[in-house]
A and B are shown apart, each in its own frame.
Chain A
């Protein structure tokens, strides 16, 4: 964190590589716009750099970065809404849409997915996101059906182990 505070490119890049995708995921979920989500990513790391002298380097930076990112996303949402509706602060600006609910879970799942080995991640992406059957995934990825199944089971067990609290919180 000392290197990050000094603006050391490698330290900034390390933190970015670890956390930019979870930041992007919660920004995209909450705002629904890629351009705005990338603006949130950029501003989150700039704000984190500004505040880094107040961060305890012994702590996990994930919750700290999450809090900064969510705040930036809220600010961007309110700015866009003000401009869209042509009005200044009003009491109902305090109310956030449902897309801002459960963002910590989004962060956790995205971080866990990104932590999977590449070969397991591509099987999970193919079968859960693109809804391919194991056979279709095997054909597309060019690997044996048994390998798809074993990678899928292994990856799912790994994710379920990290994320066995999902659906029990409203974060």
Chain B
């Protein structure tokens, strides 16, 4: 066996095989590299080396960056335009109104920190998360050093941030969780600090929250 084959055998947990052990006994170079080969073998047997993120995650990342950058209408490339036309035709043929209808809509009531505010969230359930369009009115522009943040919260108190914004308006956001698991939707005014959780400054919330 060559040194490369010996190291592969070590990585596969066969260091005690007589032929491998004999080689290691007389080859200082392989002995020096054996621990690295064992570590590589352990990593290659680890599921995290093979698990794939969901295929829609790339679109969620793009959407989140678009939302952050405040981009609304990006000029499509010609082939995307052609695809969009085809999809539009299909939607018209199949009933656009039905196809575009959100899976759910909730109204948000003003919270103690913004009694004049209001909002509506429309949501589309997707295989690996939720796409939402949030319309907010009556909020003052956030001061420098603060921003508004949309949260989804589970019954056990876990929070997931669905996006941030700085003023009233219409925003599209995507969250990597299902609304059925995270039923509460609410908005807080957040200081720009390192605390990843919501503060107690609620500006919008479900009426029955």
Instruction: List residues of A whose CB falls within 8 A of some B CB.
Output: 7, 9, 12-13, 16-17, 20-21, 24-26, 28-29, 34-35, 37-39, 41-42, 45-46, 49-50, 75-76, 78-80, 82-84, 86, 105-106, 109-110, 113, 124-125, 127-129, 131, 152-153, 156-157, 159-160, 163-168
Contact = CB atoms under 8 A, between A and B. Distances in A.
Nearest to A77: B196
Contacts of A127: 12
Contacts of A37: 53
A16 B174 CA distance: 17
Contact of A110 (B4, B49, B66, B71): B49
B43 interface: yes
B4 A46 contact: no
Contact of B44 (A75, A86, A129, A153): A129
6 contacts: A39-B160, A41-B57, A75-B196, A83-B156, A109-B49, A113-B44
B159 A45 contact: no
Contacts of A113: 44, 49-50
A38 B128 contact: yes
Nearest to A127: B12
A49 B7 contact: no
Contacts of B128: 38
Given A41-B53, A109-B43, A164 B33 contact: yes
A17 B65 CA distance: 16
Contacts of A35: 176-177
Given A7-B71, A153-B5, A13 B62 contact: yes
Nearest to A162: B40
Contacts of A153: 4-5, 8
B53 A24 contact: yes
B72 interface: no
Contacts of B62: 9, 12-13
Contact of A42 (B50, B74, B176): B176
Contacts of B33: 160, 164
B54 interface: yes
Given A38-B54, A163-B40, A46 B157 contact: no
Nearest to A113: B49
B145 to A, nearest CB: 15
A156 B49 contact: no
Given A38-B176, A41-B57, A167 B35 contact: yes
Contacts of B48: 25-26, 28-29, 106, 110
A166 B68 contact: no
Nearest to B197: A79
A156 B11 CA distance: 9
Contacts of B196: 75-76, 78-79
Contacts of A13: 58, 62
A46 B173 CA distance: 13
Contacts of A45: 61, 64-65
Contacts of A20: 53, 57-58, 61
A131 B13 CA distance: 11
